[in-house]
Amino acid sequence: MSKPVVLIAEELSPATVDALGPDFEIRSVDGTDRRALLGEIAEANAILVRSATKVDAEAIAAAPRLQVIARAGVGLDNVDIKAATAAGVMVVNAPTSNIISAAELTVGHILSLARHIPAAHGALARGQWKRSKYTGVELYEKTVGIIGLGRIGALIAARLQAFGTNVIAYDPYITSARAQQLGVQPVSLDELLGQADFVTIHMPKTPETTGMIGAEQLARMKPTAFVVNVARGGLIDEDALYAALTTGEIAGAGLDVFVSEPPTESPLLCLDNVIVTPHLGASTDEAQEKAGVSVARSVRLALAGELVPDAVNVAGGVIDPYVRPGIPLLEKLGQVFSGLAHTSPLTNVDVEVRGEIVAYDVSVLKLAALKGIFTNVVSETVSYVNAPLLAEQRGITVRLITDAVSEEYRNVVTLRGALADGSQVSVSGTLTGTKQIEKIVEINGYDVEVPIAKNLIVMLYTDRPGIVAVYGREFGEAGINIAGMQIARHEAGGQALSVLTVDSPVPAGLLASVREAIAADVMVEIDITD
């Protein structure tokens, strides 16, 4: 019997091949040679790539035997995840391989900004001895503000505390207990920007976080302050940053990532008070080796038909076919849940599964729920293995509750959580009909039945005549088409909950305008990521 074929499309460490072991036929190809790639991938059961090889819909269609695409790194921009999922191909990556490297690069940028290291080196290399020009500042007793206190943010906090800095952080999903454990003072974003001598950002790139550091936020910073971004290009508005740097609104910036890469046309590259690196966050020997070994292990699991913790699209492994359709449902409900819970950090989450489905092993549904909850919350890629760790790091208690009795639906799942401010959030969902349509059937105690769509708006307001006409007019005039709508209430004249599905994202300004127009207590837009 022939061995499964594993195709290595880019140079990987010898340890990666060693980790695959003797059970596979290892072949190599230059992944940037399109014709060669399409020829070789036809017989591959698995392909290992880094960032240069494009595993798009065409490549996937040319690979009828393909079971798994493994990216030896974090980013997945070169892999068509939707096409892979449609073809039943698992996609895996190495979500934690670069966290130490990224944290250390961040500290390197901060030190370089504080002591003008690149500029001083350049001047001396040109024969210029300018000691007084490059007088810097100490990190000792300075305030460092970390935006996003996930795994990388926590590593940075630990390293900077060794310099005697005062570390403050903004992260709406971190409890005060977790912040205290890390020795970090939690503050609002405005407080962080106003107090910090160095600001470093470590957030995921979502519609909500894109451009989150813009002209208004930069204006709040000290004129002596520096900002660093090694996370994702676009978190900082580059036009606003250029203006702030050229007018002296802030002192300098360290950038490893850009909106467009390579940033050959960016005016930021011409400024003396900017330090740039070419997206080196994961560019260390150790990170590359960790990434290769990690995905090699995932390939072994995938081709053996076992659960693959780092799968980003499907769980794989020995999961009953009756349970499997619930995985994407729970991931989407998790995103709805985190959108509803954005006002305060979570303290605990219950994943309740009710109905006939509990006769099977449903433990993967808890993992799927956590994966969904953290998908748009943290900067790193969320998987089935690191989602529970992310909850633990944030001091969130998680329980799986099962009950064979489901009164209204054959099967129903509920995410229920308590927030640090004492409030509670819940969302329930089910699969209906022969097509297994994903539906939301409850939000915060209000009964609804709404198909899950990419763009959702949830509103809570006092029930009274004319409200629908008001927000319908506001959205209509802005060109936002309402695809579906349902209103639920407990009593006439009381609180009413309205859920809208819309065809396109709603600008934050419009959302605020609608909220004011109807005097809504809650107005949340939730963008579901597939």
Other Cβ atoms closer than 10 A to 193: 24
pLDDT of 104 higher than 70: yes
Last residue of some domain: 243, 276, 309? 276
Question: Which 3 state secondary structure label does DSSP give 169?
Answer: strand
Do residues 264 and 363 share a domain? no
Residue 1, domain CATH:
3.40.50.720
Do residues 202 and 331 share a domain? no
Predicted local distance difference test score (pLDDT) of residue 345: 87
Residue 168 near residue 145, CB atoms below 8 Å: yes
Residue 346, domain CATH:
3.30.1330.90
Do residues 108 and 240 share a domain? yes
Mean pLDDT of 122-147: 95
Last residue of some domain: 451, 486, 518? 451
Do residues 63 and 163 share a domain? no
Do residues 272 and 367 share a domain? no
Domain count, the chain: 4
CA dist 271 and 397 (Å) reads 47
Cβ within 8 Å of residue 448, ≥6 positions away: 440, 441, 442, 486, 488, 497, 499
pLDDT digits (tens, 9 = 90+) for 262-288: 998 999 999 999 999 999 998 899 998
pLDDT digits (tens, 9 = 90+) for 439-478: 999 999 999 999 999 999 999 999 999 999 999 999 999 9
Do residues 458 and 447 share a domain? no
Predicted local distance difference test score (pLDDT) of residue 381: 66
Predicted local distance difference test score (pLDDT) of residue 73: 86
Q: How do beta strands 252-255 and 446-451 pair? A: unpaired
Do residues 425 and 471 share a domain? no
pLDDT of 176 higher than 90: no
Last residue of some domain: 428, 451, 474? 451
Cβ within 8 Å of residue 88, ≥6 positions away: 314
Predicted local distance difference test score (pLDDT) of residue 167: 97
Give the start-end residues of each E strand in 73-231: 90-92, 143-147, 166-170, 185-186, 198-201, 226-229
Residue 527, domain CATH:
3.30.70.260
Predicted local distance difference test score (pLDDT) of residue 87: 81
pLDDT digits (tens, 9 = 90+) for 467-481: 999 999 999 999 999
Do residues 218 and 170 share a domain? yes
Hey, what are 488's tokens? 């639920």
Predicted local distance difference test score (pLDDT) of residue 231: 92
pLDDT of 388 higher than 90: no
Do residues 472 and 500 share a domain? yes
Q: How do beta strands 397-403 and 46-49 pair? A: unpaired
| Enzyme catalytic residues | 232, 261, 279
What is the band of 74 on the pLDDT scale with cuts at 50, 70, 90? confident
Predicted local distance difference test score (pLDDT) of residue 116: 95
Cβ within 8 Å of residue 468, ≥6 positions away: 485, 487, 498
Do residues 305 and 327 share a domain? no
CA dist 473 and 77 (Å) reads 38
Do residues 193 and 228 share a domain? yes
What is the band of 315 on the pLDDT scale with cuts at 50, 70, 90? low
pLDDT digits (tens, 9 = 90+) for 364-382: 899 889 989 988 887 766 7
Do residues 125 and 248 share a domain? yes
Q: Which domain holds residue 342?
A: 320-451
